[in-house]
Structure 1
Amino acid sequence: MIVEFFIFIITVVIAYGLYNYYDNHSYFKKHGINFMPGVPLFGNTLKSSLSLMNMIHELDEIYKAFPEDRYIGLVQMTARTIAIRDPELIKQVTVKDFDYFTDHRQIFSDPLFSESLFSMQGEKWRHMRSTLSPAFTGSKMRKMVPFMCQTSQNIVEHLKETEGQNINVGELIRRYTNDVIASTAFGIEVNSVKDQKNRFYEYGQKIINFSSVQKAKIFLSVIFPKSGFQIFPKDSLDFFKHIVTSTMEYREKNNVERPDMIQLLMEASKGTLDGPTEDKSDTVGFATTELTAVKPKGEVQKWSTDQLAAQAFIFFLAGFDSTASVLVMAFHELALNPKVQETLYQEVKEHHEKHGTVTYDGVPTLKYLDGVLNETLRKWPPTLILDRVCQKPYTLPPPREGGKPYTVKEGEVIFNFVNSLHMDEKYYPEPEKFKPERFSDENKQNIKLSAFIPFGSGPRSCIASRFAILELKVLLYYVSLNFILQKCEKTRDPIELTPGEFQVRCIGGSWVKFQARK
């Protein structure tokens, strides 16, 4: 009986896969949209699903298949999407016509994730975005730089103690981003390079290192979006939720204040979070996104403690791994490009001799540091695609000359390419080369802004881009000031990405030797 049941289930799944396969392909053909034939149940993501290729490269193959098209058809598992590859059209749908595409698609149903700003939809999202925007202005971020500097000094001291050793940069940098988030978001002082097994770091690792079971759940969640699978470990979610709720209760009871994210969330919950939503002249780098004004309808919404905990969790998730991946690639690239590293050192050294440290106001003056970070964000953006769900019928222009317009229906998903756009020689000559001078003051005018979107585009762009850039630059500053980054026998040159990963990670890790400057 059990065998017959499993045979029935397998037959149903195969039948569904075949039906979906032919239905998607006939749909694209009917509407004159070019696409690459996929595989039943896997669509265009078979190689990455089976750990044969990193998803970045698999998506890039599709992007390059139709170089003259504004958009193409793409099937992720069984989900049919329209993938936009024209930067001006991406700008159109994410900025000018944002009201047609306000939401992300829903895959994860974990409470802390689904209640976060990233996953919220419609008016609920507008209210939360409007509530939190003042928390990420320059005046608020300025207060967090000292925490970043202190954590960076911990890393410098650790590297001096381990001088000459081959260091797995990935693990080291995640300890840095862990400690920065612990301090600036959760109000917890942690030194993860000394206390290697602290609970904050251990629970963070459990969240971002997906097991085979978790990957299978993600696979099934894409095929069956309403399946309700819990992706993240419950004990880790409970840990972070408890920190937020208990800290809020303690501070409220004892009238304690600290310039961190929990304090800002407490002010937001009371409606006392003030300050301008945006000062366009106050940027910490070329990649800083605008805190676009979002006007919610109706009365100001009251937020529960659980909902506020969800914002702290998503802040941790983005800051712990996404930010770390950019720093890891920056250090790897510096080790491979000693001339770039020397130019960066001379700028940082000159600044340090004049000012003695790096400050919020000093960060924008470090032009070459900004170029190094922008070039890293171009080659290795933490976001591969920008997904959006259509809220009301929207007509796209013809995909190519001689084609016909396509109307995106309500509920349909569109993808906007990011990584492939950044690596297109049409916008960036010699895209494989690491050239920070692309972003010099003289060359910025040649950058097509709609083709550089590492933190997203439009009102749904990353609300914490200013924080992320500061976090990245502060550590780059102190490490470049104190060390020469050298290749070792484990350093992969050129960088090759790990197959089957959702994250940007080098095969075997990014290994670098740190030689103290005399």
Structure 2
Amino acid sequence: MILLLFGIAIIATLFYYYCIKPMSYWKNLGVQQTEPIWFFGDSWRNILRYQNVLELIDYLYYGSGNGRYGGCYTFTTPTLIIKDPELTKQILVKDFDHFVDHYLFQGSDYDPLWGKNLIALKGEKWREMRSILSPCFTSSKMKAMFKLMLDCAERFTEYFLSLSVAEQTENQAIPLEMKETFTRYATDVVASTAFGVEVDSLNEPNNSFYLMGRRVTSFGFWKAMRFFMNILLPKVCAIFRIRFLDDETMSFFIGVVEETIKVREEKGIVRPDMIHLMMEARKGKPKVEEGAADDETSISHVDVKTPVNITNMDIAAQAMIFFFGGFETSSNLMSFLAYELAADSDVQSKLRTEIEDTWNECNGKLTYEALLKMKYLDMVISETLRKWPVNLATDRLCTKPYTIEPAHPNEKPLHLKKGSYVSFPTYSIQHDPKYFPDPDKFDPERFSSENAHKIVPYTYLPFGGGPRVCIGNRFALLETKTLFFYLLKSFEIVFIEKSCVPLVISKKDFNLVMQGGNWLGFKSLKKGA
């Protein structure tokens, strides 16, 4: 009996120490916080499907007080929510050296494909890889990739024009689920620009690239559990080799990269893509950074005249995360953009007018320069990213002790230890009426030349900010602009009977997914086609 009681006492003590006590971390530091529950913290709201991901982010933003920052809990991990634009700039830019790394992505030897990608890399390893990859996204490289995107966009549009003729639906809308449809375009673009592989995901719906993209980005319950376990219990996952990515996924990406490298080396093939640049860096060939970055996002660049130790696994890891981003985030942006255009015919009509004017000015051949000059297209996409940011929140890990100095009389210095986790709720800030009046209204005029200056700096961060801003943001914008140029030149995007109006975000998914799918129609503008 005594041993039983002793055992119960030990279990109770451990439960209190590891599951209950952490929930008072911020309160003990005098920081306003949410109302977490033991072990799960605030994460239970999404894990148990009580709130969708947007509702959870809003809860953390408004439920942690009305100060410049507030406390919440990712399971048992104390998380500081940064709400003030000036403090956001301070952490992301001015004091970046204290917050170099991400927290939510853990590098590991037993899950190398996930642990060696640019987002997961830390410190100097990140700096080195970032400097190697940066030239992939300069103006000249974007212009070269634009030609590949153009082919994909034209093929995409021609497919549905042919479909409307074949099925005699030129006066009716072709019903489509937008997320699924746009992931096929994104698959073709990324396969071509990153891997040098030609894929046609509309005519070959079950091609391996598309199926693997679905596999990687499908965030079911057990995959989410593996993800959270690698965050919360990395040592346990290392012992039992619990990886986020399964063997089949790893084999696919490693196999494609190794085969691509082999063929290119044997046949001397050169393409303006990521794999080529990393192969060149491995040989020690110099590269020139074109187009200097602004002071707030620039980083020091390594001298690649000296060969860099890059393995095929390193290349596969970067290709995989690039594919992940192109497949998931870009298609999400396109899906929500299509919905907003269907919901606002005036915006769609105005955008189509700009497209037609640009097409005529180009004499029927779209150019890279002409596309980038389209101001209203840029405004429409910017507003889509404000209302539906591709990164709903971004995070940083405190890599050395840091003090947030008081800015108001009711504040006191807040000392953050090394390893502290801070989060920036992008979605909630971009929907705060204090910064964006009538935030639920889709209004591209917010980003017009007359109004853009009114936007408070660091309240609009759809791709993050500072030196760790999303490296592929220009790529995502370019592939989206290219597709919608051709799409709206030939089709009107409309609601159909199956459309969910207004849209509802699903509680069953851990990421941003429309409940019931995003069903819209493509209605051909070619009369009598």
> Which residue, 34, 38, 41 being the options, matches 1:40?
38
Contact preservation (8 Å) 2:32, 2:71: yes
How much is the aligned-residue C-alpha RMSD, in angstroms? 2.3
1:483 aligns with 2:481: no
What percent identity do the matched residue pairs reach? 36
**In the aligned structure 2, how far is the partner of 1:406 from the partner of 1:414?**
13
| Structure 1 residue identity aligned to 2:185 | Y
Summarize the alignment of residues 9-408 of structure 1 with structure 2, pairs less than 5 Å apart: 18-66=16-64, 68-105=66-103, 106-107=105-106, 109=108, 110-160=111-161, 161-162=163-164, 163=169, 164-226=173-235, 227-228=237-238, 229-272=242-285, 274-279=287-292, 292-295=298-301, 301-355=308-362, 356-398=364-406, 401-408=409-416
Q: In the alignment, is the contact (CA less than 8 A) between 1:386 and 1:416 conserved in 2?
A: yes
Q: What 5-or-longer segments of structure 2 have no aligned partner?
A: 1-6
Task: After superposition, give the CA deviation of every residue in 1:187-209 in whole Å (9 maximum; x if it has no partner).
Answer: 11111011010111111111111
1:413-452 correspondence to structure 2 within 5 Å: 413-452=421-460
Alignment-derived partner of residue 525 in structure 2: 517
CA contact (8 A) 2:393 2:424 kept: yes
The residue matched to 2:365 in structure 1 has which SS?
coil
SS in 1 for 2:368: coil
Contact 1:386 1:456 in 2 (8 A): yes
Q: Alignment partner of 1:167: what SS?
A: strand
Once residues 218 and 40 of structure 2 are traced to their aligned partners in structure 1, the CA distance between those partners, rounded to angstroms, is: 22
Per-residue deviation, 1:290: 7.4
Paired with 1:344 and 1:173, the residues of 2 have a C-alpha distance of 19
Q: Give the direction of change, closer, same or farther, for the CA distance of 1:67–1:483 in structure 2 (3 Å limit).
A: farther
Match of 1:286 in 2: none
Indicate conservation of the 8 Å contact 2:230/2:244, yes or no.
Answer: no
One-letter amino acid matched to 2:318: Q
Quote the residue 1:285 is aligned against.
Answer: none
TM-score (norm 1): 0.92
Larger deviation: 373-382 or 254-263? 254-263
Is the Cα–Cα contact under 8 Å of residues 129 and 294 in structure 1 kept in the other structure? no
Out of 368-377 and 55-64, give the one that drifted further: 55-64
Greater Cα shift, 41-50 or 260-269: 260-269
Task: Tell me the distance in 2 between the aligned counterparts of 1:24 and 1:264.
Answer: 46
In the aligned structure 2, how far is the partner of 1:440 from the partner of 1:360? 21
CA shift in 2, pair 1:129/1:500, >3 Å: same
Deviation at 1:35, TM superposition (A): 0.6
SS at match of 1:165: strand
Q: Distance in 2 between matches of 1:70 and 1:403?
A: 9
CA contact (8 A) 2:137 2:474 kept: yes
Q: Is the 8 A contact 2:175 2:519 kept in 1?
A: yes
Q: Which secondary structure state, in structure 2, belongs to the residue aligned with residue 361 of structure 1?
A: helix
Q: 1:315 corresponds to which letter in structure 2? A: F
Distance (Å, rounded) in 1 between the aligned partners of 2:70 and 2:360: 53
Q: Call closer, same or farther: CA 1:297–1:491 in 2, change over 3 Å.
A: same
Q: 2-side partners of 1:268 and 1:300: how far apart?
A: 6
Whether 2:510 is the aligned partner of 1:499: answer no
Deviation at 1:253, TM superposition (A): 1.7
Question: How many angstroms does 1:313 deviate by?
Answer: 1.1
Cα distance in structure 2, aligned partners of 1:239 and 1:27: 43
Secondary structure of the residue aligned to 2:144 is: helix
Corresponding letter in the other structure for 2:79: T
Contact preservation (8 Å) 1:334, 1:340: yes
Cα deviation, residue 482, structure 1: 1.0
1 CA distance for matches of 2:339 and 2:213? 23
User: Structure 1 108/266 Cα, relative in aligned 2: closer, same or farther at 3 Å?
Assistant: closer
Of the three residues 461, 472, 492, the one matched with 2:480 is 472
Instruction: Tell me, in whole angstroms, the C-alpha distance in 2 between the residues paired with 1:490 and 1:412.
Output: 46
In the superposition, the TM-score normalised over structure 2's length comes to: 0.90
| CA radius of gyration, larger in | 2
* Distance in 1 between residues matched to 2:135 and 2:392, nearest whole Å: 27
Give the deviation of 1:395 after TM superposition: 0.3
Amino acid at match of 2:132: T
Q: Distance in 2 between matches of 1:97 and 1:125?
A: 17
Unaligned runs of 5+ in 1: 1-7, 282-288
| Counterpart residue type for residue 204 of structure 1 | G
CA contact (8 A) 2:136 2:273 kept: no
The AA in structure 2 aligned to 1:348 is I
1:450 aligns to what SS in structure 2? coil
In 2: Cα distance, 1:511 partner to 1:273 partner = 48
Report how many residues are paired: 502
Q: Within 2, Cα distance between the matches of 1:51 and 1:180? A: 34
Does the aligned pair in 1 maintain the 2:429–2:459 contact within 8 Å? yes
Amino acid at match of 2:384: T
Q: Give the C-alpha shift of residue 317 in structure 1.
A: 0.8
How much does 1:155 deviate? 1.6
Residue type of the alignment partner of 2:175? N
Whether contact under 8 Å (2:297, 2:465) holds in the other structure is no
| Conservation of the 8 A alpha-carbon contact between 2:383 and 2:442 | yes
- CA deviations on 1:231-276 (whole Å, 9 max, x unpaired) are 1222122111111111111111221112222222222222325232
Task: Tell me by how many angstroms 1:16 deviates.
Answer: 5.3
Residue 129 of structure 1 deviates from its aligned partner by 1.1
Of the structure 1 ranges 243-252 and 267-276, higher mean CA displacement relative to structure 2 is found in 267-276
Is the Cα contact below 8 Å between 2:34 and 2:64 reproduced in 1? Answer: no
Counterpart of 2:113, as a letter, is L
Q: In structure 1, the residue corresponding to 2:234 is in which secondary structure?
A: coil
Separation in 1 of the partners of 2:135 and 2:297? Answer: 9
Q: CA offsets per residue over residues 344-365 of structure 1, 9 Å max, x none?
A: 1000111011112332211221
| Aligned partner of residue 454 in structure 1, secondary structure | coil
Taking the aligned partners of 1:434 and 1:323, their CA distance within structure 2 comes to: 19
Q: Is the 8 A contact 1:71 1:83 kept in 2?
A: yes
Q: Displacement, 1:170?
A: 0.8
**Counterpart AA for 2:125:** K
Distance 1:225 1:357 in 2: 52
Contact 2:219 2:510 (C-alpha < 8 Å) held by counterparts: no
